[in-house]
Structure 1
Amino acid sequence: MKKSIFILLVIVFVTGLRNNVFAQNYIKQIDSIYSDILSEERSFYIHLPKKTDKIYPVLYLLDGRSNFDAVLAITKHLKRHGQIPEMIIIGIHNTNRTLDLTPSAMQVSRQGQPIPKGTNGGGENFTNFLKEELIPYIEKTYPASSHRTLIGHSLGGLLAINTLIHTSDLFNNYIAIDPSLWWDNTKLLKETNAILAHKDFKNQSLYLAVANTLRDDMTFDRVEKDTTNATSHIRAILDFTKTLTKETCNELRFNWKYYKNENHGSIPFAAEYDGLKSVFSWYNFNINDEFRKPIATPKYLINYIENHYTKASEYFGYTVKPKESFINQLGYRFLDPSNSDNMAKSFAFFDLNIKNYPKSANVYDSMADYYEKQNDLVSALKFASKAFEINKNTLYKTRVESLKKQIN
């Protein structure tokens, strides 16, 4: 009995610890604004990066109450592995989900039942709320850039595609998860076919995720010929993908995937993960692969890093630099006096940090470490003194005094 109680207490402790860590790493706050367009107060979750001394791209998530925690976990994982940038995340709450997320009004349901007036078809109004009120508020109040990503599932996916087609410049990236393109007798799908042929979507991305809503006796070929309500959802999505695949002149970066083992309800988590990797595929930064190349000289590696962040800056519309801590780690990774090639790489990384962060004491202190490893104490003192000049930390002062004694 005592053993069982002990095990139970351990489980409670570990669970509490894990939840506490989760809370610390996935901090979400609640904010709200009054919308003149919607004539009501609208609330939203927000997650901010720890450092707020620079601006960040913003991810806007429809159905924010139900999907927010999952998206936070996904973005944290992908960011840690260099797949996507660090972002502000906004999870938008709905007061009437169907009204908010449907761009046109239906009078009668697919089953022939009358739909009360005023309960749907408010999507354009909701989009105006995003454009005229919420986004300006976010970019004024928080360290947010104008590089934006929109994620929507089901009716949210419908609104995401409607926004791409009719207000395309509002977001840079769109992730539409099993969108309800059947809505209003596929009205949006019909509009899309006409618009896609002549509209320019340069520098914009769409990732489309398709759930398995087929009956067991159905295949893609049979769905295309089917006319029943049972296949109207996936049929509309497949028609849309076929149109987008054919229209290659509009410069839209389009990718889609069929999730055979996911249904309409289970698909969001997998699709959000894949979708973020897809729309930020250009951001993927794996320098470890470059280290293994025979041409990986210090100059080659620095050029590779600088070219990557120049490209990122062009996408984001503002200057993006490699993190000081990341480059610093690379410098110490190659700080090996027994290998002159590695020492040359170490110097190049430390020097890059000095170039990018000239007001940081740490970058000069790291370069002092490099020169100490080279037994060049005079140069080590020069950089240690610069670190102490910027930051009067006792550790820097002690190091300067120690180097002076060794030189004398």
Structure 2
Amino acid sequence: MKKIILCALVLCQLSFNNRQLHAQNTLPTIELEYKDSIKSSILKEQRKFSVKLPNGFDKSQKYPVIYVLDGEMYFPIVTAVQNFLDRNKRFASNKSIIVAIENTDRTRDLTPSAAVSSKGHGTMENSGKAEQFYQFITSELIPEISHKYAVSDRKLLIGHSFGGLTATYFFLEHPNSFSDYLIMEPSMWWDNGKLLNAATKKLQANHYEKNTRVFFAFASKEDSTRNSIEKLVGQLQPEIALKYAYYPNENHGSVYLPALYDGLRFLFDIKVERKPRM
């Protein structure tokens, strides 16, 4: 009888252990990379975005957030480069949350003034709503991310071409909305250079936090005019940590990858550890 009871107890214990093990194996895990969307009352549409959490994500830790414009195109590139920097033990920690915003009407959202231009693909008639797009990002998207995750005060913005134009507009029109800017090949020609022409007065009037960092990248030096935005920032806001780079072996499209790598290293102050060869 005792043996029967003992066997029953052992079987019950095994069954309990199996249930516990199954429960542990089926506990919900944090998804490090996923797609999401938010209903925007400002833009009056559903906006999609992709999120990448850092490797070894700790929900109790505060992370910087990298916001990427043209997200449907550049999310894979930014996450790949960021992963490389994150996993390289020779680099300082730069763990961040990546949020890549997908387009619905690129010309509308990524141009700061209404204009018609034949440059590029076709005529750009639906334009000039970058301010509205800014309000969406700062009033709806950023609070959504801050509600879901513990984030630091550091917010980085990455933009290329029209995205670079819009990032420059945010930098000039709304100082300190972002702490860091990685701006590649900004389309400063838009609307006959209206934003560039207004930059001097804006930079003279603006007050930036002393920890502001800006990286400008151009495919070649010739793409930058005499009164170029990167030179104006250096002259009129010397307290900003500024770097600009020219890539003569790249074009408007191909510059993104090398500039992204160099730009993130500059913004996060990642230096290569040089050791003598053995």
Q: Is the 8 A contact 2:34 2:50 kept in 1?
A: yes
Q: Is the 8 A contact 2:185 2:252 kept in 1?
A: yes
- Equivalent-residue separation in structure 1 for 2:103 and 2:200 (angstroms): 30
**Per-residue deviation at 1:239?**
1.9
Question: Which protein has the bigger helix share?
Answer: 1
The answer on 1:255 being equivalent to 2:243 is: yes
| Unmatched runs of 5 consecutive residues or more in structure 1 | 1-25, 213-219, 224-233, 290-408
Equivalent residue pairs, number: 239
Deviations 1:72-107 (A, max 9, x none): 111111123324510000010010111111111103
Residue in 1 aligned with 2:162? 155
The answer on 1:29 being equivalent to 2:17 is: no
The answer on 1:42 being equivalent to 2:31 is: no
Bigger Cα Rg: 1
AA aligned to 1:184 is D
**Per-residue deviation at 1:145?**
2.4
Residue in 2 aligned with 1:95? 104
Q: Is the 8 A contact 1:44 1:91 kept in 2?
A: yes
Deviations 1:247-273 (A, max 9, x none): 244x11111000011100101111110
What are the within-5 Å matches in structure 2 for residues 44-193 of structure 1?
Answer: 44-49=49-54, 50-81=57-88, 82-110=91-119, 115-116=124-125, 119-193=126-200
Q: Is the 8 A contact 1:203 1:253 kept in 2?
A: yes
Residue in 2 aligned with 1:231? none
AA aligned to 2:236 is E
Residue in 2 aligned with 1:198? 205
Which of 219, 234, 245 lines up with 2:234 in the alignment?
245
AA aligned to 1:33 is I
TM-score (norm 1): 0.55
- Equivalent-residue separation in structure 1 for 2:272 and 2:68 (angstroms): 25
Matched-pair identity in %: 37
Deviations 1:190-244 (A, max 9, x none): 11111212322221111000013xxxxxxx6xx6xxxxxxxxxx24486222322
Residue in 1 aligned with 2:27? none
| Unmatched runs of 5 consecutive residues or more in structure 2 | 1-30
Structure having greater relative contact order (Cα 8 Å, sep ≥ 6): 2
Q: RMSD across aligned C-alpha pairs, in angstroms? A: 2.3
Q: 1:169 to 1:105 in 2, by over 3 A?
A: same
**Per-residue deviation at 1:27?**
4.6
Q: Is the 8 A contact 2:108 2:128 kept in 1?
A: yes
- Equivalent-residue separation in structure 1 for 2:227 and 2:87 (angstroms): 34
Residue in 2 aligned with 1:264? 252
Q: Is the 8 A contact 1:84 1:277 kept in 2?
A: no
